[in-house]
Amino acid sequence: MEDVKQWYLHNLLLRLNINMKTLIQGIDNVVKRARRFYAQPLDHISQNDFIEMMILDACFLIELFRKLCFPENKLSCTGSVPLVQETDTGNDPILNMDCMLQYLCHDLSLLENQLPWFVLQCLYNLTAYNSPHPCLTLLVLKFFS
């Protein structure tokens, strides 16, 4: 599954023409707060690994929600930055694997797999690039409905 998450992150970075440094700097102010939201101590995970994990997981979810909730919207509302590139869907490891989406829906609903909402919201805002976009809450509700 980590390879799939990497694939989604890579596509997001390419589509928006940004790099990891942009995302790392963008969530720097929420990292300490995010560590406190986990039931188990995260002392065994370095700061850099924790940041990478949050970015990887959050960007995967954000791209998945965008792809599946608004497949008809190949472009953002402004028409400038595509929400999904045409080439992404043909090779998509989630959309091209039977039962994967059903498995993911179950997996995402498990409490132990939850990211703090403010981390997801922060990265969602960073990847929206000031174009009008549906709110994250709407995407999540649409995904699970």
Q: What is the pLDDT of residues 120-142, one digit of tens each?
A: 999 999 988 656 678 888 888 88
Domain ranges, ordered by start, for the chain: 2-144
d(CA 115, CA 38): 9
Contact 68, 3 (CB under 8 A): no
d(CA 50, CA 136): 22
pLDDT, one tens digit per residue, over 73-131 is: 443 433 344 444 444 556 777 777 777 777 777 777 665 667 899 999 999 999 886 56
Please state whether the predicted TM-score (pTM) of the whole model is above 0.85. Answer: no
28 contact partners, CB below 8 Å, separation of at least 6: 51
Q: What pLDDT is attached to residue 80?
A: 42
